[in-house]
Protein backbone atom coordinates (compact mmCIF):
# COMPACT_ATOMS: atom_id res chain seq x y z
CA UNK A 1 0.00 0.00 0.00
CA UNK A 2 1.13 3.57 -0.71
CA UNK A 3 -0.35 6.71 0.81
CA UNK A 4 0.78 10.30 1.57
CA UNK A 5 0.96 11.92 5.01
CA UNK A 6 1.41 15.69 5.32
CA UNK A 7 3.94 16.95 7.86
CA UNK A 8 5.67 20.20 8.80
CA UNK A 9 9.04 18.50 9.15
CA UNK A 10 10.63 15.12 8.66
CA UNK A 11 9.88 12.82 11.56
CA UNK A 12 11.22 9.29 12.14
CA UNK A 13 8.80 6.96 10.41
CA UNK A 14 9.56 3.32 9.74
CA UNK A 15 6.85 3.36 7.03
CA UNK A 16 8.37 6.24 5.03
CA UNK A 17 9.09 5.35 1.40
CA UNK A 18 9.76 8.75 -0.22
CA UNK A 19 9.00 12.44 0.41
CA UNK A 20 7.85 15.40 -1.64
CA UNK A 21 9.52 18.55 -0.33
CA UNK A 22 7.75 21.80 -1.18
CA UNK A 23 9.98 24.86 -1.31
CA UNK A 24 10.63 27.92 -3.40
CA UNK A 25 14.37 27.13 -3.22
CA UNK A 26 14.68 24.13 -5.53
CA UNK A 27 18.49 24.29 -5.55
CA UNK A 28 18.79 22.60 -2.14
CA UNK A 29 20.41 19.16 -2.11
CA UNK A 30 18.05 16.20 -1.91
CA UNK A 31 18.43 12.45 -1.68
CA UNK A 32 16.76 10.06 -4.18
CA UNK A 33 13.97 9.58 -1.65
CA UNK A 34 13.42 13.30 -0.99
CA UNK A 35 12.05 14.99 -4.08
CA UNK A 36 12.17 18.78 -4.51
CA UNK A 37 9.03 20.50 -5.79
CA UNK A 38 9.66 24.15 -6.67
CA UNK A 39 6.38 25.49 -5.30
CA UNK A 40 6.15 27.58 -2.11
CA UNK A 41 3.71 26.61 0.62
CA UNK A 42 1.08 29.22 1.39
CA UNK A 43 0.52 30.33 4.99
CA UNK A 44 1.95 28.02 7.65
CA UNK A 45 1.04 24.78 5.96
CA UNK A 46 2.88 21.47 5.83
CA UNK A 47 6.24 21.56 4.06
CA UNK A 48 6.46 17.83 3.35
CA UNK A 49 4.33 15.09 1.90
CA UNK A 50 5.63 11.79 3.29
CA UNK A 51 4.57 8.84 1.16
CA UNK A 52 4.27 5.75 3.31
CA UNK A 53 4.92 2.28 2.01
CA UNK A 54 7.18 -0.70 2.49
CA UNK A 55 10.84 0.08 3.17
CA UNK A 56 12.99 0.87 0.11
CA UNK A 57 14.97 -1.99 -1.36
CA UNK A 58 16.89 0.15 -3.85
CA UNK A 59 17.91 3.80 -4.18
CA UNK A 60 19.84 5.43 -6.99
CA UNK A 61 20.94 8.99 -7.74
CA UNK A 62 20.33 10.09 -11.33
CA UNK A 63 21.52 13.11 -13.24
CA UNK A 64 19.14 15.79 -12.04
CA UNK A 65 17.05 13.34 -10.07
CA UNK A 66 16.82 9.97 -8.39
CA UNK A 67 14.80 6.83 -7.89
CA UNK A 68 13.74 4.70 -4.96
CA UNK A 69 12.00 1.33 -5.12
CA UNK A 70 10.43 -1.29 -2.88
CA UNK A 71 8.82 -4.61 -3.71
CA UNK A 72 5.64 -2.96 -5.01
CA UNK A 73 6.40 0.58 -6.18
CA UNK A 74 8.96 2.74 -7.92
CA UNK A 75 9.32 6.48 -7.39
CA UNK A 76 11.46 8.28 -9.94
CA UNK A 77 12.04 11.94 -10.70
CA UNK A 78 14.06 14.09 -13.07
CA UNK A 79 14.73 17.84 -13.02
CA UNK A 80 16.36 19.69 -15.92
CA UNK A 81 16.95 23.37 -16.64
CA UNK A 82 15.29 24.75 -19.75
CA UNK A 83 17.59 26.71 -22.06
CA UNK A 84 17.60 28.06 -25.58
CA UNK A 85 19.16 24.83 -26.80
CA UNK A 86 16.72 22.60 -24.91
CA UNK A 87 13.11 23.67 -25.35
CA UNK A 88 10.20 22.42 -23.26
CA UNK A 89 8.94 19.97 -25.88
CA UNK A 90 12.20 18.13 -26.53
CA UNK A 91 13.20 18.17 -22.87
CA UNK A 92 9.84 16.72 -21.80
CA UNK A 93 10.10 14.00 -24.43
CA UNK A 94 13.63 13.15 -23.27
CA UNK A 95 12.71 13.02 -19.58
CA UNK A 96 9.56 10.94 -20.11
CA UNK A 97 11.38 8.53 -22.42
CA UNK A 98 14.06 8.02 -19.77
CA UNK A 99 11.53 7.50 -16.97
CA UNK A 100 9.45 5.06 -19.02
CA UNK A 101 12.51 3.03 -20.00
CA UNK A 102 13.82 2.81 -16.42
CA UNK A 103 10.38 1.98 -15.05
CA UNK A 104 9.93 -0.98 -17.37
CA UNK A 105 13.52 -2.17 -17.15
CA UNK A 106 13.27 -2.30 -13.35
CA UNK A 107 10.05 -4.31 -13.51
CA UNK A 108 7.34 -1.76 -12.61
CA UNK A 109 5.28 -1.77 -15.82
CA UNK A 110 2.33 0.41 -14.77
CA UNK A 111 2.36 4.18 -14.33
CA UNK A 112 0.31 5.03 -11.26
CA UNK A 113 0.69 8.79 -10.85
CA UNK A 114 2.75 11.67 -12.28
CA UNK A 115 3.40 15.27 -11.31
CA UNK A 116 4.79 17.83 -13.74
CA UNK A 117 6.17 21.23 -12.74
CA UNK A 118 6.67 23.40 -15.82
CA UNK A 119 8.56 26.71 -15.57
CA UNK A 120 6.60 29.69 -16.97
CA UNK A 121 3.81 27.33 -17.97
CA UNK A 122 1.68 30.04 -19.64
CA UNK A 123 4.54 31.71 -21.51
CA UNK A 124 4.05 31.86 -25.27
CA UNK A 125 0.84 31.92 -27.23
CA UNK A 126 -1.30 29.36 -29.03
CA UNK A 127 0.74 26.31 -30.10
CA UNK A 128 3.93 27.88 -28.72
CA UNK A 129 2.70 28.12 -25.14
CA UNK A 130 4.93 26.15 -22.77
CA UNK A 131 2.07 23.97 -21.53
CA UNK A 132 1.08 23.08 -25.08
CA UNK A 133 4.68 22.19 -25.97
CA UNK A 134 4.95 20.12 -22.78
CA UNK A 135 1.82 18.18 -23.76
CA UNK A 136 3.29 17.42 -27.19
CA UNK A 137 6.56 16.19 -25.68
CA UNK A 138 4.83 13.96 -23.13
CA UNK A 139 2.43 12.54 -25.69
CA UNK A 140 5.22 11.75 -28.14
CA UNK A 141 7.10 9.79 -25.46
CA UNK A 142 3.99 7.86 -24.43
CA UNK A 143 3.22 7.04 -28.06
CA UNK A 144 6.74 5.77 -28.61
CA UNK A 145 6.26 3.11 -25.92
CA UNK A 146 2.78 2.31 -27.32
CA UNK A 147 0.90 3.24 -24.16
CA UNK A 148 -2.85 3.03 -24.82
CA UNK A 149 -5.13 5.87 -23.76
CA UNK A 150 -6.95 3.45 -21.46
CA UNK A 151 -3.67 3.00 -19.56
CA UNK A 152 -3.02 6.70 -18.95
CA UNK A 153 -2.56 7.50 -15.28
CA UNK A 154 -3.57 10.29 -12.94
CA UNK A 155 -1.46 13.41 -13.41
CA UNK A 156 -1.01 17.02 -12.38
CA UNK A 157 0.70 19.72 -14.43
CA UNK A 158 1.22 23.14 -12.86
CA UNK A 159 3.61 26.03 -13.37
CA UNK A 160 6.50 27.48 -11.40
CA UNK A 161 8.69 30.56 -11.78
CA UNK A 162 10.68 30.84 -15.05
CA UNK A 163 14.06 30.08 -13.45
CA UNK A 164 12.89 26.80 -11.91
CA UNK A 165 13.66 23.49 -13.66
CA UNK A 166 11.27 21.33 -15.58
CA UNK A 167 10.40 18.60 -13.07
CA UNK A 168 8.72 15.27 -13.78
CA UNK A 169 7.88 12.89 -10.92
CA UNK A 170 6.42 9.45 -11.54
CA UNK A 171 5.23 6.59 -9.38
CA UNK A 172 4.98 3.18 -11.02
CA UNK A 173 3.55 -0.09 -9.75
CA UNK A 174 3.98 -3.82 -10.27
CA UNK A 175 0.20 -4.23 -9.95
CA UNK A 176 -2.13 -2.96 -12.64
CA UNK A 177 -4.24 0.09 -11.68
CA UNK A 178 -7.58 1.09 -13.15
CA UNK A 179 -8.01 4.42 -14.93
CA UNK A 180 -11.12 6.41 -13.96
CA UNK A 181 -12.83 9.10 -16.03
CA UNK A 182 -15.46 11.72 -15.21
CA UNK A 183 -18.72 11.78 -17.23
CA UNK A 184 -19.03 15.54 -16.54
CA UNK A 185 -15.81 16.09 -18.49
CA UNK A 186 -14.56 15.00 -21.87
CA UNK A 187 -11.53 12.78 -21.33
CA UNK A 188 -8.50 15.05 -21.54
CA UNK A 189 -6.98 12.93 -24.30
CA UNK A 190 -10.08 13.66 -26.44
CA UNK A 191 -9.91 17.46 -26.11
CA UNK A 192 -10.49 19.30 -29.40
CA UNK A 193 -7.69 20.86 -31.46
CA UNK A 194 -8.24 24.33 -29.95
CA UNK A 195 -6.15 23.22 -26.94
CA UNK A 196 -3.11 22.31 -29.01
CA UNK A 197 -1.82 19.77 -31.55
CA UNK A 198 -1.63 17.09 -28.87
CA UNK A 199 -4.39 16.60 -26.30
CA UNK A 200 -3.21 16.11 -22.69
CA UNK A 201 -2.27 12.49 -21.98
CA UNK A 202 -3.71 11.64 -18.56
CA UNK A 203 -6.68 10.05 -16.80
CA UNK A 204 -8.92 11.88 -14.35
CA UNK A 205 -7.89 9.39 -11.65
CA UNK A 206 -6.13 6.09 -11.10
CA UNK A 207 -7.45 3.46 -8.69
CA UNK A 208 -5.15 0.78 -7.28
CA UNK A 209 -6.84 -2.15 -5.51
CA UNK A 210 -4.99 -3.61 -2.51
CA UNK A 211 -5.59 -6.02 0.37
CA UNK A 212 -7.55 -3.46 2.43
CA UNK A 213 -9.62 -2.04 -0.41
CA UNK A 214 -8.24 0.47 -2.91
CA UNK A 215 -6.45 3.80 -3.13
CA UNK A 216 -7.76 6.46 -5.50
CA UNK A 217 -5.23 8.95 -6.90
CA UNK A 218 -7.15 11.97 -8.22
CA UNK A 219 -5.54 14.12 -10.92
CA UNK A 220 -5.25 17.87 -10.71
CA UNK A 221 -8.91 18.87 -11.05
CA UNK A 222 -10.20 22.30 -12.04
CA UNK A 223 -13.39 24.10 -12.96
CA UNK A 224 -13.85 22.39 -16.31
CA UNK A 225 -17.14 20.96 -17.59
CA UNK A 226 -17.03 19.16 -20.91
CA UNK A 227 -13.78 20.66 -22.10
CA UNK A 228 -14.47 24.30 -21.25
CA UNK A 229 -13.38 26.36 -18.25
CA UNK A 230 -16.26 27.63 -16.11
CA UNK A 231 -16.67 30.68 -13.86
CA UNK A 232 -14.49 33.72 -13.26
CA UNK A 233 -14.60 33.94 -9.45
CA UNK A 234 -12.18 31.75 -7.53
CA UNK A 235 -14.82 30.46 -5.09
CA UNK A 236 -17.12 29.40 -7.93
CA UNK A 237 -14.20 27.69 -9.68
CA UNK A 238 -13.36 25.79 -6.51
CA UNK A 239 -16.95 24.66 -6.01
CA UNK A 240 -17.07 23.38 -9.60
CA UNK A 241 -13.76 21.56 -9.15
CA UNK A 242 -15.10 19.92 -6.00
CA UNK A 243 -18.15 18.70 -7.89
CA UNK A 244 -15.75 17.09 -10.37
CA UNK A 245 -13.79 15.47 -7.54
CA UNK A 246 -17.02 14.07 -6.10
CA UNK A 247 -18.02 12.65 -9.49
CA UNK A 248 -14.64 10.96 -9.95
CA UNK A 249 -14.97 9.34 -6.52
CA UNK A 250 -18.45 8.13 -7.41
CA UNK A 251 -17.17 6.62 -10.66
CA UNK A 252 -14.44 4.81 -8.74
CA UNK A 253 -16.95 3.41 -6.27
CA UNK A 254 -19.14 2.24 -9.15
CA UNK A 255 -16.18 0.13 -10.29
CA UNK A 256 -15.70 -1.27 -6.77
CA UNK A 257 -19.24 -1.32 -5.28
CA UNK A 258 -18.13 -3.29 -2.22
CA UNK A 259 -16.03 -0.30 -1.11
CA UNK A 260 -16.94 3.08 0.34
CA UNK A 261 -15.21 6.42 0.67
CA UNK A 262 -14.46 6.30 4.37
CA UNK A 263 -10.69 6.00 4.80
CA UNK A 264 -7.91 8.57 4.98
CA UNK A 265 -7.47 11.34 2.44
CA UNK A 266 -4.76 13.83 1.56
CA UNK A 267 -5.21 16.94 -0.60
CA UNK A 268 -3.19 19.55 -2.45
CA UNK A 269 -4.68 22.89 -3.46
CA UNK A 270 -2.84 24.86 -6.15
CA UNK A 271 -3.65 28.57 -6.10
CA UNK A 272 -2.61 31.07 -8.76
CA UNK A 273 -3.05 34.16 -6.57
CA UNK A 274 -2.07 33.81 -2.87
CA UNK A 275 -4.44 36.67 -2.05
CA UNK A 276 -7.34 34.26 -2.72
CA UNK A 277 -6.28 31.93 0.11
CA UNK A 278 -8.60 33.31 2.86
CA UNK A 279 -11.54 32.93 0.50
CA UNK A 280 -10.99 29.28 -0.34
CA UNK A 281 -9.73 27.80 2.95
CA UNK A 282 -13.21 27.63 4.59
CA UNK A 283 -14.63 25.95 1.48
CA UNK A 284 -11.87 23.35 1.34
CA UNK A 285 -11.97 22.57 5.05
CA UNK A 286 -15.74 22.33 4.94
CA UNK A 287 -15.39 19.52 2.41
CA UNK A 288 -12.25 17.76 3.70
CA UNK A 289 -13.24 18.14 7.36
CA UNK A 290 -9.71 18.94 8.51
CA UNK A 291 -6.87 21.42 8.04
CA UNK A 292 -4.34 18.69 8.79
CA UNK A 293 -4.69 16.80 5.51
CA UNK A 294 -4.47 19.78 3.11
CA UNK A 295 -1.47 21.68 1.75
CA UNK A 296 -1.91 24.97 -0.17
CA UNK A 297 0.69 25.70 -2.84
CA UNK A 298 1.35 28.77 -4.97
CA UNK A 299 1.39 27.70 -8.62
CA UNK A 300 0.37 28.82 -12.08
CA UNK A 301 -2.18 26.59 -13.79
CA UNK A 302 -2.35 25.04 -17.23
CA UNK A 303 -5.04 27.44 -18.47
CA UNK A 304 -4.71 31.18 -17.98
CA UNK A 305 -8.35 31.54 -16.91
CA UNK A 306 -8.05 28.98 -14.10
CA UNK A 307 -7.35 30.22 -10.58
CA UNK A 308 -7.48 27.09 -8.43
CA UNK A 309 -6.91 23.35 -8.80
CA UNK A 310 -7.25 20.43 -6.40
CA UNK A 311 -5.76 16.93 -6.36
CA UNK A 312 -5.99 14.16 -3.81
CA UNK A 313 -5.39 10.63 -2.64
CA UNK A 314 -8.25 8.77 -0.96
CA UNK A 315 -8.59 5.39 0.67
CA UNK A 316 -11.62 3.29 -0.26
CA UNK A 317 -12.47 0.65 2.33
CA UNK A 318 -15.08 -2.10 2.73
CA UNK A 319 -18.00 -1.00 4.86
CA UNK A 320 -17.11 -3.59 7.51
CA UNK A 321 -13.46 -2.43 7.86
CA UNK A 322 -12.62 0.05 10.65
CA UNK A 323 -11.44 3.36 9.15
User: Which residues are marked as active site?
Assistant: 309
Contact predicate 85/102, CB 8 Å:
no
49 by DSSP, 3-state: which?
A: strand
Q: How far apart are CA 139 and CA 141, in angstroms?
A: 5
Q: Is 196 left (phi over 0), alpha (psi -120 to 50) or beta?
A: left
Handedness of CA 53, 218, 234, 290 (dihedral sign): negative
| Cβ burial, residue 194 (10 Å; 0-12/13-18/19+) | exposed
| Interatomic CA distance for residues 234 and 306, integer angstroms | 8
Distance from C-alpha of 248 to C-alpha of 270, rounded to nearest angstrom: 19
Amino acid sequence: MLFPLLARATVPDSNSFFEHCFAANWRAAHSPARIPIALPVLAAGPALEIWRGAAPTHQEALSGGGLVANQDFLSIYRTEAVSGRRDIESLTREIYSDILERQRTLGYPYLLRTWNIVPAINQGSDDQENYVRFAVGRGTALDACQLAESSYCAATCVGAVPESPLTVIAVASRAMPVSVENPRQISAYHYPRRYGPRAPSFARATMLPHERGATLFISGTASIVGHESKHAAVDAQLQEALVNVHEVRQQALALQPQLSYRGDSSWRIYLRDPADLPQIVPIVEGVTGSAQNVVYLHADLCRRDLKVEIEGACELLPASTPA
